[in-house]
Structure 1
Amino acid sequence: MDIEEFRKAGYQAIDRICEYYASLQDRPVVSQVQPGYLVDALPTTPPEQAEDFSTIADDFQKLILPGITPWQHPSFFAYFPTACSFEGILGDLYSSSVSNPGFNWLSSPACTELEQVVMDWCAKLIGLGDHFLNKNGVGGGVIQTTASEACIVVCVAARARYIREHPNAKLEDLVIYTTTQTHSLGVKAGLVLGLEVRALPVKYERISQSRIAD
């Protein structure tokens, strides 16, 4: 694909995205396909020759969209919000156009510094003190892609700090505490890190009393 072919395909993609959102409220809230529909529709071996991108784009319309549960549907209230804005879609397009691995400042100065600024914004939005900010040289943080990933990072940091402060500690003695109402991310973190996870029972009466007290 050369630049002009990319330009043409890009215009078509934007048009199709607009058509999708314009018709979103008329689509079913839950995908109507049956398990295995896509496995049966796709070849069992990878293609040996490249396909024209228009064919791939058509396959997206015919094969992928029918199997999408539209979390952005106005009547979708399951799980948690995953708002998707047109600005966000364009932001993803711009980000993909440079595709810089920002693992340190030299590899991508803008990515590194933008993340620092945004993390400081987040810290201020939730009322954290200055010692949580990048600018003081002690605080700061990085953006994680999912809540589960963030939980694992937090547990790794806690484990590393505890072992640093208690060099004779044994990993098998370390425990992650959650509650019976905690998302499965706590259990997953324990599985990945090889740590025991204990779920503390939560009684409805205690939750109600806590809310009344607040």
Structure 2
Amino acid sequence: MHGLLHGRGHNLPEVFQGRSSRIYDFMSRRVLRRVYRRLAADVANTAPHGGAVLDVGTGPGVLLVELAERRPDMRLTGVDLSDDMIAAATRNLRPFGERASAHVGDVTSLPFPDGSFDLIVSSLSLHHWDHPEAAVPELARVLRPGGRVYIYDFPFAPFDTLAETARNRSVLSARSPQRSRIRTGILFLRCVRYVMSS
């Protein structure tokens, strides 16, 4: 969900430094908690037992916290452009010990080995990615065979760019992408769930 405070299609991690990062952390843990709970429930219902999950654009890690509480069997990793967001995520994930961690990184150059994850999630981050076409091969690279990518975002996010790139690169196309609405629990917040398969 990292990214609600800055312009569409522009990653500006400096917006999430200092005081702004503390405000965003508070908003995520309190005001937007209901949204994260619903997304976490959706992910928890489909993630494989003992699976490794990557959250791209994790912000302060609230989605990972909700997942950790629901699924103690999973290993959880978050990645975000902002140092301060990762510091907040690390604090929020501390109760879960070694099975949950957060790292600074970019979706177009993920700091993980090939085939590291069974499931990749991203919540309200895609519409800020400067180069979604460059993200697709990286998501495919770190995803294990048979894995899935769950992207939750506003209807205007560049889902078509993801689909076209995946088709052209012959990645994340084991099945046709599935696009559906998901209830966020907040009336004005419309959200789409987009699923791609390895």
TM over 0.5, shorter chain: no
State TM-score, norm by structure 2. 0.26
State TM-score, norm by structure 1. 0.25
Larger proportion of strand = 2
Larger proportion of helix = 1
Tell me: higher relative CO, structure 1 or 2? Use CA pairs within 8 A at least 6 residues apart: 2
Higher-Rg structure is 1
